[in-house]
Structures are given as C-alpha cells and as structure tokens.
Structure 1
C-alpha cells in the first residue's frame, strides 16, 4: 500500500501539528531541513522504532527526505510495524523550490545531498573503469558493473551505492545526537 503523500502546501499549513522526521543522513540533514525536524536516518530505523511509535501515539508523523523516495520507504517500513506516517511529496527539494525556509543549525558542517554523493561516486567509478580500461581491458567491467547497478537502482527504486555511502563516517549520526533525538521523540 502506498503511503499517504502530503503536498508542500498541506505540510506548510500543518507544520506546527506534525512531528517531522527527516530520514536523510546527518550530513544531508545539516545542509538544511524543515523547521522543527528530527533527524532519524533511514539506516537507524530499527533502533528508532520504539521512539517513532511513541511519537505517532501523540500525533501525526511526517517523513521527509530530499525527493520523497526514502521517506516513502520509511513510511512503508513503519506501516509494516503498524505505525501510520505520511511523506512529503517532492521532499525538501520541493519545499525549497516553493520558497519555504529550511533550517541550518549554526556551527554545523554541511554535507552533500546523497544523490550528489551517488553521482560523484558512480561517475568516478565509471571514468576510472574507462581510463584504466585503455591499458587493462578487464577494468572496463567496473564501468559495466556501475552502469548495471544504476539500471537496477532505477528499476527497483533502491540504491545500493547510497546505502554504502550512508555508512561513511561523514554521513553517520553522532550517537549522542541520535540518542537525544530518540529521547525527544519518546518524551
């Protein structure tokens, strides 16, 4: 079942009554998020489930990411656990395109959006495979593998490369930050 999708205008009208959960990596979250959003990266959802259930018991949850794809995945994962949540259609990209403010905490480092990280990694691997392949033909398989992965990613609406990149240190939440977020959602 598809998650409930709210438009930017619907979210803007209800922002004060929604508990907003941004499922992007901490680096992406730091680059700008909806006002009042809590950062619970998608790869920490199993740990966060009790806190998300508690927050859902108190009010409506809104899952947010850059485009809406990861937040829709988050909604489906929550629905499997009996938790209802909505997703922001078009994500933070649509939010900012319609002129709404995003919050950037003072003193935090800003990271690249995950799609930008994926484009850099994929492009670098393809280019490396092609350049090294001029001397060593077998290296071209690297380019072919990345191309196949991108096709698979598009067909399945998943991204293995994003999962790998999300595990890098600059995309990880500080344990204290995640613990504080989960405590805020619980209480």
Structure 2
C-alpha cells in the first residue's frame, strides 16, 4: 500500500493559513515531550496498534501522521489507511524552520538503537579476541539491522521503547479520544 505524504513546507503553510489538519504524533511519550509540532496529539505507535478500533471513529481523513523521520508514521498509516504522513517527520519539519514545542532533551530512538547496536558489536568484537565465537553476536546484530532496514521495522527499537526511560506516562486512551473530539 502506498502512503501519501505531505511536505513540511505544505503543512506549515496550512498551519499558518489557519487550515491545520489534525496531527497524530506516533513517537514514544519521551520523544514527544522532547520536541513536537505545536497542536499535535501523542498517540504512540504501540497505543495506536492496541486501540486502533477505538481511535478509528475519531480520526478523520484530514489527519497527518508524524514521527521522527516518517518510518513509524508510515507504519501507522498502514493501520489507519487514507491518512497522510509528514514527509521526513519532525526532523524535516525542524529543518524547514517550522516551530517546535520543546521540553527536556532526551535521546531519540534511532540514536539509542545506534548506541546499543554499536556497543554490542564493539564489545563482542573485542571479546572475540579471547572468547572464540563471541564475534558472532555482533554478526547477529548486523543481520538484525540489515533486516530492520529492509523491512522498515526495528525489533531493537521496539524493545528499547519499552524501557522506563522511553515510556514516561502512557497516554490515557480516553484522554486521547477526548482530545481528538475537541480538535475535530
């Protein structure tokens, strides 16, 4: 299924003209608190998957899905067909000079994945000098990263998203639905 995108410039123009679509940010609560597009609603991808049926009646076609780079928003678009994805996500929005609401700084998920994967490869590569076969763990991580790129999913990212650092307070689905009703 192809996903329709909206450029940051086009979205910013809509916002400035007072015709802003509803924005659903599917990143983790911690990522959302760090920086988000003003007026967006945080519905983490895991919450969206779990409560898709509850959310569908409250999400109109004039909704744009947002994440860091567009990958998670594209996954969300598969769950909520007919919605657009912000091309390049919050990163592209910021590069376009559009405003962000900022909170306490936290590492985004991609940076965390790079740290964990790189550390595993480094440690097992060094350990492989004295422990035969240890380097194979790094090989498995490399295979996982290659699969993540090909499938546009990331098992390590999904696991890291479950850590308390990334969870923060989980959005209450009733509050999310109430917010979606008021922004309709």
TM-score of the aligned structures, taking structure 1 as reference length:
0.87
TM-score of the aligned structures, taking structure 2 as reference length:
0.89
Aligned to 2:102: 104
5 Å matches for 1:8-19?
8-15=8-15, 16-19=19-22
Per the TM alignment, residue 183 of structure 1 is displaced from its structure 2 partner at its CA by: 2.7
Compared CA separation, residues 126 and 98, structure 1 to 2 (3 A): same
Aligned to 2:66: 64
Aligned to 2:34: 31
Aligned 8 A contact 2:37 2:90 in 1 = yes
Aligned to 2:154: 159
| Partner Cα separation in structure 2 for residue 173 and residue 46 of structure 1 | 18
| Partner Cα separation in structure 2 for residue 47 and residue 150 of structure 1 | 25
Aligned 8 A contact 2:43 2:171 in 1 = no
| Partner Cα separation in structure 1 for residue 159 and residue 58 of structure 2 | 29
5 Å matches for 1:55-134?
55-57=58-60, 60-79=62-81, 84-105=82-103, 109-134=104-129
Moved more, 145-154 or 171-180: 171-180
| Partner Cα separation in structure 2 for residue 125 and residue 35 of structure 1 | 37
Gaps in structure 1 of 5+ consecutive residues: none
| Partner Cα separation in structure 2 for residue 5 and residue 164 of structure 1 | 28
Per the TM alignment, residue 181 of structure 1 is displaced from its structure 2 partner at its CA by: 2.5
| Partner Cα separation in structure 2 for residue 178 and residue 171 of structure 1 | 18
Per the TM alignment, residue 142 of structure 1 is displaced from its structure 2 partner at its CA by: 1.0
Q: Which runs of 4+ in 1 moved over 3 A?
A: 175-179
Per the TM alignment, residue 50 of structure 1 is displaced from its structure 2 partner at its CA by: 4.1
| Partner Cα separation in structure 2 for residue 8 and residue 139 of structure 1 | 45
Per the TM alignment, residue 180 of structure 1 is displaced from its structure 2 partner at its CA by: 2.5
Per the TM alignment, residue 172 of structure 1 is displaced from its structure 2 partner at its CA by: 1.3
Moved more, 8-17 or 122-131: 8-17
CA RMSD of aligned residues (A): 1.8
Per the TM alignment, residue 178 of structure 1 is displaced from its structure 2 partner at its CA by: 5.2
